[in-house]
Chain A
Amino acid sequence: MSAGSDKRLNLLVVDDSAMMRAMIKRAAGLSNVPLGTVYEASNGEEALRLLETISIDALFTDINMPVMTGIELLAALDRQDRWKDLLRVIISTDGSNARREQAGQLSACQYVEKPFKPEAIRDVLATLL
């Protein structure tokens, strides 16, 4: 997306906690980045199903979720070439180096530790501008 474009960013927020999804949406809304639709899913499997029907610019995912974890979701995206340019962001309380290394082996992956300030989401979205 080029600067000055009127394109709005579509996001997908994946977290099993509805309150955390609301918090991430709020932080994205405070970022001054033009937003389109913010989609939600409560686990990786639901996100994969949703991705068959929508177009997004960035995906934010928790790690620990029932049914399919965030790491499994990102690994599934890595297996499909169509998602190679999608910005993926892990939002997790696990800030350990080992987990970051695991995430680093997946494509286009950024890492935000919980709790985060809204600026952390702004900084991530700004990389798309």
Chain B
Amino acid sequence: MSLPHSSSRTAPSDLRALLPEVVAEVAEHAFFAWAEPCEPRAFADLVAASDRSRATPAVWLCARVGFQGVVSGSLEVLLPVELARELGVALTGGSASDGLTDQELHDVAGELANMLCGVLLTRVDRRQAFELRPPQVARVAGVREQAGRADQDQFFCLNDRPVAVRFGECAP
């Protein structure tokens, strides 16, 4: 399964501006992890490094959450499966040797997208409620070839691993 690529209009500038602090907050509070923005080149280097350490290219997950409220659109988070595994272990307090099922890995990616979306929209306008659609999660390929190229993506280093976030169809 792969998610159709959402048409990527520029997100409202306040969503994009708030994203770095929201990613850091969600990473720390939900996953006991640290995150910071990184430049496209650094993101591409992290993707390449992640592939070099493996016999086959890293598998990635894309989690998308649609939202409707003070602004409407969707948010997509792209992360390596290995990072989803680390975050899942942190989320539940398990050990690194615990195996997570594909469904649990999808849950982790979906919940990350869900939390980013919710915290962002609450920050944009705390007065107005919003609706989040259930996360859609799929495995994606070709991340290395596109790494760091998409104009609308924002890049992060989360626990030394690459994460990309993009907004789709944000209408005021």
Chain A positions within 8 Å of B, measured between CB atoms, are 16-20, 22-23, 26, 64, 66, 92-99, 102, 113-117
In the docked arrangement, what's the CA distance between A65 and B132, Å?
10
In the docked arrangement, what's the CA distance between A96 and B114, Å?
15
Q: Which B residues are CB-close (under 8 A) to A17? A: 107, 110-111
Question: Is B91 touching A66 in the complex (CB atoms < 8 A)?
Answer: no
- A64 contacts which of B88, B91, B121, B131 (Cβ < 8 Å)? B131
Instruction: Pick from A19, A20, A114 the residue with the most CB of B within 10 Å.
Output: A19
**What total count of A-B pairs have CB within 8 Å?**
79
Question: Is B91 touching A19 in the complex (CB atoms < 8 A)?
Answer: yes
Chain B positions within 8 Å of A, measured between CB atoms, are 25-26, 29-30, 69, 88, 91-93, 103-104, 107-108, 110-111, 114-115, 117-119, 121-122, 125-134
- B92 contacts which of A23, A96, A98, A102 (Cβ < 8 Å)? A23
Q: Which A residues are CB-close (under 8 A) to B91? A: 19, 22-23, 26
Given that A18-B107, A19-B111, A22-B92 are known contacts, is A116 also in contact with B29, CB under 8 Å in the complex? yes
CB distance from B40 to the nearest CB of A (A): 27
In the docked arrangement, what's the CA distance between A116 and B118, Å?
13
Question: Is B134 touching A66 in the complex (CB atoms < 8 A)?
Answer: yes
- A115 contacts which of B92, B108, B110, B119 (Cβ < 8 Å)? B119
Question: Is A96 touching B93 in the complex (CB atoms < 8 A)?
Answer: no
Question: Is A94 touching B93 in the complex (CB atoms < 8 A)?
Answer: no
| CB nearest to A92 among chain B residues | B118
